[in-house]
Amino acid sequence: MEFPDELKYSKEHVWVRVEGDRAVIGISDYAQEELGTIRGIELPSVGDELEQDDSFGSVEARKTIADLYAPVSGAVLEVNEELADSPGVVNDDPYDSGWMVVVEMKYPEELKSLMSPGDYEEYVETSE
């Protein structure tokens, strides 16, 4: 399982890559592994406003549908349209081509509530 150093993680297994005032968001390697084969993804539209900890979409896997919870608040600037036709990209490459949305952060200080890669790895290990 991978825990890239440049990312921050939420307890809901969502990662954030900070690029200036933007946050690139996706689900962690752990989350995609736990879900199994991803069959569908529902994401917000460009322009939608996300609030930290609120649901912003869902992932449909063989056994379940899991809500996605926003790790930070802000306006959706981009949505990974490729995932609509190829949701399995998240299983294959959750940290690069499997990104889900890009958000312009409203409150960058919310990043302080997220975990470092080491803390997240420990969190995952104690969750199993």
Q: How confident is the model at residue 2 (pLDDT cuts 50, 70, 90)?
A: confident
pLDDT computed for residue 62 by the predictor:
86
Residues linked to residue 67 through DSSP beta bridges, in sequence order: 58
Region 60-65: what's the mean pLDDT?
91
Q: Among candidates 26, 27, 22, which has minimal Cα distance to 77?
A: 22
- Number of structural domains in the chain: 1
Mean of the pLDDT values across residues 57-72?
95
Q: Please list, in sequence order, all residues whose beta carbon lies within 8 angstroms of the beta carbon of residue 10, skipping any fewer than 6 positions away.
A: 16, 69, 71, 114, 115
Domain that holds residue 90: 7-111
Q: Classify residue 52: in a domain, yes or no.
A: yes
- Measured CA to CA, the distance from residue 71 to residue 8 in angstroms comes to 9
Q: Give the CATH number for residue 76.
A: 2.40.50.100
Instruction: Record the tokens describing residue 3, joined without a space.
Output: 């825990």
- pLDDT for residue 128 is more than 90: no
Please work out, in degrees rounded to the nearest 5, the angle formed at the alpha carbon of residue 36 by the alpha carbons of 112 and 33.
40
